[in-house]
Amino acid sequence: MSQRQLVMEHEGQPVKAQTPPDSGIKTILLHVLDDEFHDQRIETALTLARAASAHVSCLHVTPIEAYVAYENFGGVFVMQDVMRKLDERNADLELRVTKRFKREDVSWDYENVTGNVASILLSRASLSDILISSRQPVRRDFAGPTVGFLGDLLHRSRTPLLIPGSDGNAFDPTGLALIAWSGSVEGANAVRASVGLLKLASNVRVLQVPETKQGPKDFPATKLLEYLSRQGIHAELMVEPSPTGDVGHDVIAGMIVAEAKGAGAAYVVMGGYSHTRVGEYVFGGVTRTLLKDCPISLVIAH
């Protein structure tokens, strides 16, 4: 891990609450997917629900494209055998998920719908405090590229997106939280949307990452510390020395992951696509890099 400079710490050392704080997180939307990270996402939702005394809404969406086949001449017909197999698979998935939740001490419900995956998730997320999803799409042959799917959620939703780490470890909402701070409006939105989650953290650190492009709307990290302090969140600021040479998004992404691992962070809070979706200015590229793969859980918003 590279050297870093400790700049500021509010109120001495981090404060651990004697009683669980009211995080304000009351509705967790869990995107149910039958993939390799299925159990990890369920455990993430359960752990967060217990810590925040929240309700878990389990939502499984079957893409409408999965039921439809296209003829060579443009005709569309429904394949009865495909429908039967998909319905059987969905019923089996629902049975497994509901059995798991019935054994737990949290409030929950389960919904199985068919339609456009991103649009339905966005609709349900409108009245949710956090959305737990995955890097894996619903179906590789129907859902499209993972980064594109998550990018749609980020750009169109105002609900923070929680993506468990690709290392498979369980998410700990009471662990150390690392805020990757670039001073952008999107980063500020991500922090504001994640205040409830940050209140559950045992420690919060702000990592000021170097940028090659600064703008007049950028917020200094000291303002972020003041904002967090008013929310009862006592954070410390770390400034990472700017690397020499060209600072690309892979360098910044690697720096964030290295610092998060070194600090033992449970998750990273960051703004997504801080410039343009198609542009590759630093933090836009960082978003794409970390959406593709990140061993640490991400809490990200646009």
My answer on whether 16 and 32 are in the same domain is: no
Report pLDDT digits (tens) over 9-67: 444 455 444 455 677 899 999 999 998 889 999 999 999 999 999 999 999 999 887 77
My answer on whether 183 and 279 are in the same domain is: yes
Region 216-222: mean pLDDT is 70
The answer to which of 101-105, 133-137, 245-249, 277-281 has the lowest mean pLDDT is 277-281
DSSP state for residue 140 in the 8-state scheme = T
The answer to which of 22-36, 51-65, 189-203, 261-275 has the lowest mean pLDDT is 261-275
- 159, 175, 207 — which closes off a domain? 159
Q: Containing domain of residue 207, as a range?
A: 5-20+167-301
Q: How confident is the model at residue 276 (pLDDT cuts 50, 70, 90)?
A: very low
Residue 216 pLDDT > 60, yes or no?
Answer: no
My answer on whether 171 and 285 are in the same domain is: yes
Residue 79: give its domain's CATH number: 3.40.50.620
My answer on whether 193 and 253 are in the same domain is: yes
Region 191-201: mean pLDDT is 95
Region 149-168: mean pLDDT is 83
* Chain centroid to CA 129: 12
Alpha-carbon distance of 202 to 212, in angstroms, equals 32
My answer on whether 31 and 145 are in the same domain is: yes
Determine the 3-state secondary structure of 48 from DSSP.
helix
1 vs 52: which has the higher pLDDT:
52
pTM of the predicted model, to two decimals?
Answer: 0.82
Residue whose C-alpha is closest to residue 59's, from 104, 82, 87, 28: 28
- 111, 142, 159 — which closes off a domain? 159
Alpha-carbon distance of 166 to 136, in angstroms, equals 10
* Chain centroid to CA 234: 22
Predicted confidence at residue 295, as pLDDT, reads 93
Report pLDDT digits (tens) over 77-125: 566 777 888 899 999 999 999 999 999 999 999 999 999 888 999 999 9
Q: Which residues pair with 58 in a beta bridge?
A: 30, 110
Residue 142 pLDDT > 50, yes or no?
Answer: no
Alpha-carbon distance of 117 to 132, in angstroms, equals 14
Q: How confident is the model at residue 220 (pLDDT cuts 50, 70, 90)?
A: confident
User: Average per-residue pLDDT in the chain?
Assistant: 81
My answer on whether 139 and 94 are in the same domain is: yes
Task: Give how many domains the chain has, as a whole number.
Answer: 2
